Amino acid sequence: MKLKTRKQVIKEFMLIHFDTYDYSKVEYKNAITKVTIICRTHGPFEQIPNSHKRGRGCSECGKLKCVRRKPLFGVGINDSDYITNYTDKYGNSKTCPYYSRWCSMLNRCYSSNYHIRNPTYIGCTVSKEWLTFSNFKKWMETQDYIGKDLDKDILIEGNKVYSKDTCCFVSSDINSLLVDNKAARGKYPVGVCLHKPSDKYRAQISINGKVKNLGYHTTIQEASNTYNIAKANYIIEKANELKDIRVKEALIKIANNLKVVCYT
């Protein structure tokens, strides 16, 4: 890969930070070798180019901003020393992925408007440690989170506290199967509908937006059992692909419990 020129790198810096900093001392070698950047308020500091392009800036400015920030939902402390969300000069909205997940978690626990739409989250809380953004970010950086959802009750059934000991990341398709959405259930159990032409109950499962027909049954219970067994088998299949032993074992336990219910 061709090394970027100093001019190209500075242009990328300015797309994020505009004219906040003076880049006259930048001597670019590569994406991970620190360069000297001058804060117009606090003077020069060194930073890795990739970090600066992700929104990091002067740590002293970050401390001042932290003091002025209002707690998110009255409880969340954003102590980041970099810009967590901004709009670049082309009008594109950019948000730090760690900050986005942290805000979403706080929203689920402490937003009354969110609770009106999702009452199952009433009573959920965030651990004292995770009320500070940097602590949550430090944990998330060690996780396999890309393209996955933050979950609080796979490891501990019925858990209502978001913390490093109770949370994990799982794929969206698994998470959607585990969600017991009674509001969307309607007249029949999840995975069951009446097939009017045959006057039988059809079992079906939806994975990644694709619906798979599992057959027709004379009773609602038979169709529901078929759905739950297919659901359990898929969860086990996906669990066996995971590297995180905690999540793998928890998912297999959930799947096996589903099968036990179906066969009793």
Domain borders along the chain are 1-57, 173-263
Closest by CA position to 16, among listed 99, 89, 79: 89
Phi first, then psi: give them for residue 194, nearest 5 degrees.
-85, 125
pLDDT of residue 157: 86
**Is the pLDDT assigned to residue 184 strictly greater than 60?**
no
Q: What is the pLDDT of residues 36-46, one digit of tens each?
A: 999 888 899 99
Q: By percentage, how much of the chain surpasses pLDDT 90?
A: 47
Mention every residue, 6+ apart, whose C-beta is less than 8 A from residue 165: none
**Is the pLDDT assigned to residue 52 strictly greater than 60?**
yes
Say how far residue 218 (Cα) sits from the centre of its chain. 41
Closest by CA position to 81, among listed 52, 56, 46, 109: 56
pLDDT of residue 182: 43
Question: What is this structure's pTM?
Answer: 0.68
pLDDT of residue 68: 56
- 212 forms beta bridges with 205
